[in-house]
Amino acid sequence: MSLWPAAGWIFGGLYATLLLASLIGFVSQKRSPGPSIDHINARIRGWWIMITLMGLGLLAGPVAIFAFFILLSLQGLREFGALTPLTALLVAAQYGVVIAGLPPAVVLPALLAPRQRWALLLAVAGLAHIPALHPLLMVFLVLIAQASDVFQFLAGKALGRHKLAPAISPNKTVEGLLGGLLGAGALGALVHWLTPFPWPTAAALAVAIAAVGTAGGLILSAMKRRRGIKDWGQMIQGHGGVLDRADSICLSAPLLYYLLCLL
């Protein structure tokens, strides 16, 4: 399927889902207000912003997409506390490699501090794999990664009994993880037409994206724990900073990119 009919179906479905979620959130807030409902409604408002920005980026074309991810990388470095003239120069070099059509890669100079090297690896090298993908595969990646987070949240709330990594992320459960993987696989099979593969392969890719995305989230959560902070920033209402939303794609984007090279 070509880009625009596919994107129309995807974004139409996302907006319809968000509209329904917003209505449910509004009614729930009126009937039984509380901090949990406030948190969920804030996340829904954040989703409106993020999906709209992503749609506008696709509509504007490749230049806008690259500019969008360059800005995300710079903001990620800023939240990491690693935005310096040198790291900004390395951002330009990294995306220059991608724009030239070469495989994404990043140089981690020995003179950089460990924090800067981690920042380049996650917020730059990881994110730079996304605009290197075909736009439909880009939509597939972001859709699966973010939907998996939602599936994990819902499954964890409904069925969560066993903590996955209590010292790092107390709210994540084994049942939530399994629900996220199953939900991602089902969604991947449903939207397999975004990929050049049949539904079993797309479902397997979706499960891999969700699994590695969870690992990326735990790594960044461990870093937050070490620093004693709750969120990386407050850029997106209800979602924290860029790294709080990109944690599930910092590692899954390179995974998808290189799996596609092998398939």
Read off the pLDDT of residues 11-32 as tens digits, 9 standing for 90 and up. Answer: 777 788 778 878 887 887 888 7
Same domain (yes/no): 148, 233: yes
Domain range for residue 79? 62-128
Residue 144 within any structural domain of the chain: yes
Same domain (yes/no): 145, 255: yes
Residue 54 within any structural domain of the chain: no
Query: What is the pLDDT at residue 90?
Result: 92
Same domain (yes/no): 147, 184: yes
Residue 238 within any structural domain of the chain: yes
Show which of 128, 153, 170 is a domain's final residue. Answer: 128
User: Which residues in the chain come in under a pLDDT of 70?
Assistant: 1-4, 6-7, 36, 39, 43, 46, 233-240
Same domain (yes/no): 123, 206: no
Please state the φ and ψ torsions of residue 136, each to the nearest 5 degrees: -65, -40
For the chain, the domain total comes to 2
Query: What is the pLDDT at residue 129?
Result: 93
Show which of 87, 103, 128 is a domain's final residue. Answer: 128
Query: What is the pLDDT at residue 65?
Result: 86
Show which of 92, 110, 128 is a domain's final residue. Answer: 128
Token output for 27:
């009614």
- What's the whole-model pTM score? 0.84
Query: What is the pLDDT at residue 6?
Result: 65
Same domain (yes/no): 213, 106: no
Query: What is the pLDDT at residue 236?
Result: 58
**Using CA atoms, how far apart are residues 190 and 202, in angstroms rounded to an integer?**
9
Same domain (yes/no): 166, 256: yes
